[in-house]
Chains A and B, each alone.
Chain A
Amino acid sequence: MHGRLKVKTSEEQAEAKRLEREQKLKLYQSATRTVFQKRQAGELDESVLELTSQILGANPDFATLWNCRREVLQQLEAQKSPEELAALVKTELGFLESCLRVNPKSYGTWHHRCWLLGRLPEPNWARELELCARFLEVDERNFHCWDYRRFVAAQAAVPPAEELAFTDSLITRNFSNYSSWHYRSCLLPQLHPQPDSGPQGRLPEDVLLKELELVQNAFFTDPNDQSAWFYHRWLLGRADPQDALRCLHVSRDEACLTVSLSRPVLVGSGTETLLLTVDKSPLAVEWRTPDGRTRPSHVWLCDLPAASLNDQLPQHTFRVIWTAGDAQKECVLLKGRQEGWCRDSATDEQLFRCELSVEKSTVLQSELESCKELQELEPENKWCLLTIILLMRALDPLLYEKETLQYFQTLKAVDPMRAAYLDDLRSKFLLENSVLKMEYAEVRVLHLGHKDLTVLCHLEQLLLVTHLDLSHNRLRALPPALAALRCLEVLQANDNAIESLDGVTSLPRLQELSLCNNRLWQPTLLQPLASCPRLALLHLQGNPLCQAVGTSEHLAELLPSVNSILT
C-alpha cells in the first residue's frame, strides 16, 4: 500500500535518539570549553552570557557558569548605560525564570536571582512575590521557592499578616507542608511580640490556642503526617533558656574551682571568656575541661593559687563572670571548710521539663486530653504516643513517671526501628527524675540502679554528687562527661555492659570503684583510672579480662597506687 501511515520501528527510533543525543553532547561540550577559555582570557563580554545561557538553559545546575555570568554582569555594569543595563537585567530575569521552569529546585538559579535582585536599584518585589506564588502553586512544598519568598518578603517589607495569610492558603490546600508551618513559626512571634520581660519567641495564649486548634485538625485528619506534629511541638516548646551559671564549686583540698554552665561552650575561643574574681580582685587563671579535652563543654575548672585559699581570712568569696552569657555567680568558702558551693536547683528552675512547658499548665493539660483521645482512636500512632510522653513530662515528670514508662513500652512496640533512640530518651527522663528526687531529699547520693539505663546524660548537673550507683543497667560506657563529677568518692557500676571507662579520669576524690560483671576485656582499658589519685579499691570480678593469664600483674603495673584490685 502506498502512502499509508507507517511508524518507525523501535530500533529506528532508538538510533534517531542516539544521534540526537550525540549532537547535543557535542554542542554542550564545545560551548563549555569556549566559556572556560574566554573566562581564563578575561573576555567577559556578552558572548559569554549567550553561551552560558545556552548551557544553563538545558542544565541550570552548572554552578560555575552562574559564577561566570555574575562576573560578566559585574563587568558590564560599569560599561553600559542605564538603559542598556535595564534591558540586560530584564533579559536576565526572563532567562532565570525559564531556567526555573526547567528545574524549579535548582540552587544555583534561585541564588542567582537573589544576587541579581539584591543589586538592582529599584527591584520590582511585587513581581517576585507573584513569581513565588506561581511556583508554589505548582509545588507547594518547594523549599527553594519558600526560601526565596522569605528573602523577597523581608526585602519588600511585606507585612507579616499578609505572609501569614499566604501560609494559611497553602496549608488549606495541603497541610503536609513543613515550609509553610515553619514560616508560621517565624511570622507569629513577629505579629505578636511579647513584652520585653516575657520569654522571647513565645505566643500569647489566645493565638496559641488558635494555632493549636489548627494543628490538631491536621493531626486528627492524618496522625501520620509529621509536619503537623513538629509544628505542635514548636507551639508547646519553650524558648532557649537564658544563659546562666548553674553551679560553682570550690575545693580547698584540690585547690580547684569548678563551674557548670547552661550550655556547652569552648572557653577561650572568641568572646567566650570566664572571669574569676577572688575577694573582689580579678585573678588570671587557666581554664580546662574535666576530661582534659579542648572542646565545648558544660563544665570548666581552674586551679587556684594557694594565696587565695589561705585560712587567715574568715571567708573567701569567689565570683565567676561569663561575659558572653551576661551571667555570673558567687560562692563562699568559709574558714575551716573543705569546700563551698552555690548552685541553681533543678527543682526550682524546672530544668528538666524538656522542650515543652512554660505555658500555663491548663493549656498543656487540655492538649494532653486531646492527645489521649486521639491515642484511643489510634493506639499505635507513634507521634501521638511521643507527644503524650512529652506533655506529661512538661506537666509533672514525677507524678506521671509510671504512666510515662508504660507509654514508652507501647511506643517501643509500635516503633521498633527507633527502639534505641527511645531507650536513650527514656534513660534521660529517668535520670532527670532521679536528680529531682535527690535534690528534694537534699542528699549528695544518687541511686540509678536497676533502671535499664542505656545512656548517661545531664552529668553536668551532678557536680556535687559523692556517691553514685549505676549498677544493673545497660550502660556500655562511662562517658567522658562523667569526669565532671569532681566530688565523686564511690562509684558503683556493676552488672552493665561497660567496655570503656573514658569518663573515670582525673576524679580527685574517687576512692572506690565497682565494675563487676561488665565487658572489660583487657587491662589497658583501665588506663584512665591511673589519673584518679585516691583510688584505693577496685572491683573487677566477672569481667572477661579476669580470665586472661597475668592480668593481676599487668593491672598492678598499670595502677600502682590502687591498694586492692579484686579480679
Chain B
Amino acid sequence: MADSLPTEFDVVIIGTGLPESILAAACSRSGQRVLHLDSRSYYGGNWASFSFSGLLSWLKEYQQNSDIADESTASWQGLIHETEEAITLRKKDETIQHIEVFCYASQDMDDNIEETDALQKNPSSVISSTTTKPLDSACLSEETHSLYATGHELPAKDTPKSDGEISLEVTDVEDTLAKEKYCGDKTCIHTVSDGDKDENKPIEEDNTDQPKRNKITYSQIVKKSRRFNIDLVSKLLYSQGLLIDLLIKSNVSRYAEFKNVTRILAFREGKVEQVPCSRADVFNSKELTMVEKRILMKFLTFCLDYEQHPDQYQAFVQCSFSEYLQTKKLTPNLQHFVLHSIAMTESSCSTIDGLKATKNFLRCLGRFGNTPFLFPLYGQGEIPQCFCRMCAVFGGIYCLRHKVQCLVVDKESGRCKAIIDHLGQRINAKYFIVEDSYLSEETCSNVQYKQISRAVLITDQSILKADSDQQISILVVPPPESGTCAVRVTELCSSTMTCMKDTYLVHLTCSSSKTAREDLESVVKKLFTPFTETEIDKEELTKPRLLWALYFNMRDSSGISRSSYNGLPSNVYVCSGPDCGLGNEHAVKQAETLFQEIFPSEEFCPPPPNPEDIIFDGDDKQPEAPGTNNIIMAKLDSSEGSKNLESPGKHLQN
C-alpha cells in the first residue's frame, strides 16, 4: 500500500460492515470517488467471518484491547486550522463484551500443531471442563487422527476452482435462468446443489461403516482452522428479501455462491423435529395425518394473501397471534410450527404481525428451493466483501488497518470537510459515512444500546439426523417462560464451507437480557452434551456433542436514531452495526435510505452495463474499444479469482 493516498474524494466511508459496504458500492457505481477505510485488519467489522485461528486472534485482540495506550493527540492537532474544529473518533472498539470460551474436545499435545499463534494463546477465561486422561486419549486420538488425515490435502478456500466446478456452476445458472424470468442476462444467484458440490470436494475416508463416532480433537480443529469460516453475526438471506433483490439487481451476486437452507426445524416437547413448510414437504411428511396436511396447507395458503380475506382475521386483530392460531382448527403441533418455525415470532406478537411474518416466509418459498432461506458459502462475511469488490471495480479505493483520528469540521458552515488519518494525512471529501462503533463516547453519550447474545458452537453431529449429513438447518427454540427471548439456532454443515468435515458449526442468537452465556446456556444444554472421553449414559449419547463453544455479547445499535448523537455535522452519516434479526433487511434499508439522502437524484445500485455496451468518452471514433473492455473484464476476473481479498482496490490502482 502506498504511503500517501489521494487527498480529494467525494465520499469517505469508515467501516466495512454490510451497510457501509453497500453504500460504498452504490456511491462508486454512481460515479463518486470513494475512499473506504477500516481500522481493522479484516473486512466486515462485526459482520466478518473468521477461520478458527482467525477467530482466536480476534478474541485475543479484544482481551488485549484495554491495554492500548492512548496515543498523543499532538500529532494531528497541528493540522486543524483556526476556522476548524475536530471531532475525535474512538480508538478502540467496545461493541463486544462478555467473551467466554469453552473447549471440550480433547487437547492432546501429541499432534504436531502448526498454528502456533493460536495455540500459544491461552486466555484466562478458557475453561476446560474435560478431565482428560492423557494416555488414553492420546492413543485414541492418534488412531482416529491418522485415519482421518488421509486424502485431506486440499487447502481451504484459496484453492482455485476446478474447471468441472465452473461448468457445473454455469448449468446452475441456466437452470435458474429458466426458472426465474426476472433474471437479467447474467444476473442471478448461484445456488449450488449438494450433488454439484460433493463432486468437487476432496474425497475423504468414508467412515460410515464405522459404528463409533468420529473423535475430533482440538488440535484437529486448529489444524483445519482454515476450513472454518465463523460468522460473528448469524444471518440468512430471505430469498425474496431486500438483500437478494439488491444482489441480483446490482449484479453483485456474481461474486458469491449460495446454498439453500435445507430444513426448518422445531423444538417441541424436548424433541427436535422437521417442519413441513413447502408443498412438497407437506406431501412427503410422514408425521402429519391427512387431515392435518389439509388444515396446514389451507392455513398457509390463506396466509399468502391474507389481506384479501379480512373476514378471516378481523375479529382477532386485538388478540395475539398464538390466540388467533388456536381458533384456526390447527392441532397443537401445527400451531407450534406456524408460530415458532414459520412466523418465527414471539407468542405475544399481534395477529397482524404474525400473519405478515408468515406471509413473508411463504412468499420466499420456492424461489430457490424448498425453504425460504439462502446461506452464502464461506459465510455471511462474504457479503460485505462482495459489495466492496463492486465498489473497487468502479474505482473505489480501499485501505484496511487505516485508523482515522478525527473528522475536521468547518466552524462557519458547520460541515465536515476532511478527515485526518493515523499517518497525519488530511483527506478532503464532501460526504462522510461512519460506522457507529467509531464514534467517540462524547458523541454517543446519550445513546442507549441493546445487546445481542451470541454463541458459536462446534459440534460433532447434527441436532436432527437424516439421510444426508449435509443439511443446513434453522431452529427457533421458544422461551421456556414468557418475558425471555426465543433463541434462534442455525446449524451449518461442512459443505457450506464454514466448518471442517465431520463437524457442524452452530450459531445461537437472541436479544440479550443478561450475558450471552446466561441467556443461551440453557438452550445449549437442551440440545447438546459436552464431549467427554468417559462413557456416558445412552440417552445423552443421542445428542450431538459439543467440541468447542464461544459466548459473547455484541452491541445492537440498529434502533438508534441519528438525533441521539451529539454534534455531528449534517454531512456525516452514521451506519449501525448488525441487528438481531434473521434477515439483512435493516442493513439494506439503512444503506438505501442514506444513499437517497446523500444523492437524491441518483439510482441506488443500478444494474451494471453489459461489457459490450461500455464505450469510453473521447473514444467516439472507435466505439468498440475492445482493448479497454478487456481490461475491465480482466480486472473483474482477477478479483474473482482470489476469495480472500486483501485489498480489492489494488487491482485497479496498479
Which A residues touch B615, using CB under 8 A? 6-8
Which B residues touch A4, using CB under 8 A? 31, 616-617
Which B residues touch A223, using CB under 8 A? 294
- Which residues, 252 to 299 on B, are CB-close (under 8 Å) to A? 279-280, 282-284, 290-291, 293-295, 297-298
Determine whether the beta carbon of A217 is less than 8 Å from that of B291: no
CA distance in complex: A1, B617 (Å)? 7
Which A residues touch B164, using CB under 8 A? none
Determine whether the beta carbon of B291 is less than 8 Å from that of A220: yes
Known: A7-B613, A377-B298. A222 touches B291 (CB 8 A): no
Q: Interface extent on A, as a size class?
A: 20 to 34
Give, as a whole number of angstroms, the nearest-CB distance from A346 to chain B: 36
Give, as a whole number of angstroms, the nearest-CB distance from A60 to chain B: 16
Determine whether the beta carbon of A138 is less than 8 Å from that of B280: no
Determine whether the beta carbon of B294 is less than 8 Å from that of A3: no
CA distance in complex: A138, B609 (Å)? 29
Determine whether the beta carbon of A175 is less than 8 Å from that of B617: no
- Which residues, 610 to 629 on B, are CB-close (under 8 Å) to A? 612-618, 623
Flag whether A2 is at the interface (Cβ < 8 A). yes
CA distance in complex: A151, B436 (Å)? 66
Give, as a whole number of angstroms, the nearest-CB distance from B204 to chain A: 26
Flag whether A328 is at the interface (Cβ < 8 A). no
- Which residues, 210 to 231 on A, are CB-close (under 8 Å) to B? 216-218, 220-223
Which B residues touch A7, using CB under 8 A? 609, 613-615
- Which residues, 331 to 388 on A, are CB-close (under 8 Å) to B? 370, 373-374, 377-378
CA distance in complex: A377, B293 (Å)? 11
Flag whether B74 is at the interface (Cβ < 8 A). no
CA distance in complex: A175, B282 (Å)? 11
Flag whether A172 is at the interface (Cβ < 8 A). yes
Determine whether the beta carbon of B282 is less than 8 Å from that of A221: yes
Determine whether the beta carbon of B298 is less than 8 Å from that of A175: no
- Smallest CB-CB separation from A224: which chain B residue? B301
CA distance in complex: A3, B291 (Å)? 67
Q: Interface extent on B, as a size class?
A: 20 to 34
Flag whether B175 is at the interface (Cβ < 8 A). yes
CA distance in complex: A139, B284 (Å)? 20
Determine whether the beta carbon of A221 is less than 8 Å from that of B618: no
CA distance in complex: A175, B293 (Å)? 15
Determine whether the beta carbon of B175 is less than 8 Å from that of A138: yes
**Which of A13, A138, A378 meets B294, CB within 8 Å?**
A378
Which A residues touch B294, using CB under 8 A? 220-221, 223, 374, 377-378
**Which of A16, A138, A173, A373 meets B291, CB within 8 Å?**
A373
**Which of B178, B280, B293 meets A173, CB within 8 Å?**
B280
Determine whether the beta carbon of A138 is less than 8 Å from that of B283: no
Which B residues touch A5, using CB under 8 A? 394, 609, 614, 616
- Which residues, 97 to 115 on A, are CB-close (under 8 Å) to B? 101
CA distance in complex: A139, B175 (Å)? 9
With a 10 A CB-CB cut-off, give which of A16, A101, A377 has the most chain B CB atoms: A377
- Smallest CB-CB separation from B618: which chain A residue? A2
Determine whether the beta carbon of B178 is less than 8 Å from that of A138: yes
Known: A2-B618, A8-B613, A139-B178. A220 touches B280 (CB 8 A): no
4 closest cross-chain pairs (CB), A and B:
A7-B609, A8-B613, A220-B290, A221-B283
Apart from A5-B394, A174-B279, A174-B280, 20 more pairs, CB < 8 Å: A1-B617, A2-B617, A2-B618, A3-B618, A4-B31, A4-B616, A6-B615, A7-B614, A172-B283, A172-B284, A217-B284, A217-B290, A221-B293, A221-B294, A222-B279, A373-B291, A377-B294, A377-B298, A378-B294, A378-B298
Residue positions of A touching B, CB distance < 8 A:
1-8, 12-13, 16, 101, 138-139, 172-175, 216-218, 220-223, 370, 373-374, 377-378
> Could you jot down 17 A-B contacts, CB within 8 Å?
A1-B617, A3-B618, A5-B614, A5-B616, A6-B616, A8-B615, A8-B623, A13-B613, A138-B175, A138-B178, A174-B279, A221-B282, A222-B279, A222-B283, A222-B297, A378-B294, A378-B298
